[in-house]
Structure 1
């Protein structure tokens, strides 16, 4: 592990960009466990340990749209945020989805029982395939976040007979009739 000061790290080609390019130097990578969150929360620097989530331009845009009092500390040498702020940012997106669904059908009590499904974790091609399969009407050219939000609203409207679905699942597992067991030739015993 080599110790160096700010002038040593910032000298050379590309130093005008500094660490904000998303890449870290060997020294920063090796001492990554010492990093703290790069965010200013209501103008105070967060002191929690940084996780592996980065404060990308897309996340900055989400934070600005939701009017959160989070900014990147200009003196930070990286763009990694703590798990707490990662959760705060994700929960804002989740709250927005729930609010939209309550406005659509007006039933607040029923919505609380339904677990939130984050379709944003799926690939864009999978979201498009879902859209095509269910023939969900929407304007063309949506980005992934807009596509996921629209499809999440649609997903919550699909009626499911829970008792029948669970009973059928248990029956199929007990009788070894699921497709995965047949494809892999696995013997669950």
Structure 2
């Protein structure tokens, strides 16, 4: 109930995201029609506006040279929202791929680092799909084999 969108008060319940300086800067840079309601007694915004602002912050436009070099720039690739993942999952990803980061990164910085790395991983779609179907049909997952061993013991 803190924000005014097109001079209309947001009626959604406030979440746990505060309208901090970073969010204010994003709103100003993107020329969003969001204003603070000064009569509000808190600085929290609803989850809808939080996600809207967060998604704008993560979708940076690539340089034209990068787009020209890309072999499949006409394909519409699905976007993964790493900001919705728990911090422990992001840390596990960072540890698995041995990503170099500075200590004390917050969740947004960690999610941005993971997203940048994830986009660089080459995937041969046909091979990945074939392997997935093979594994699903033959139940050759390490979790299934561990479960089967526990049942046989």
TM-score after normalising by structure 2: 0.70
Cross-structure match for 1:74: 38
Query: CA offsets, 1:15-70, max 9 Å, x none?
Result: xxxxxxxxxxxxxxxxxxxxxx431235x1335x414634414xx33321211442
Matched residue pairs, number? 140
Residue pair 1:38, 1:73 contacting (<8 A) in 2 also: yes
Q: Which has the larger radius of gyration?
A: 1
Seen in structure 2, the aligned counterparts of structure 1 residues 153 and 74 have a Cα distance that, compared at 3 Å, is same
Seen in structure 2, the aligned counterparts of structure 1 residues 136 and 80 have a Cα distance that, compared at 3 Å, is closer
Unaligned runs of 5+ in 1: 1-36
Query: CA offsets, 1:47-106, max 9 Å, x none?
Result: 5x414634414xx333212114423313346645273x344313312323xx2xx23961
Q: Following the alignment from structure 1 to structure 2, what is the Cα–Cα distance between the partners of residues 146 and 81?
A: 22
Unaligned runs of 5+ in 2: 149-153
1:88 has 2:52 as partner: yes
Structure 1, 104-113 or 68-77: larger mean CA deviation: 104-113
Seen in structure 2, the aligned counterparts of structure 1 residues 105 and 181 have a Cα distance that, compared at 3 Å, is farther
Query: CA offsets, 1:128-182, max 9 Å, x none?
Result: 3322322223333322211211221111000011111111111111122223444
TM-score after normalising by structure 1: 0.59
**Greater RCO, CA 8 A, separation 6+:** 2
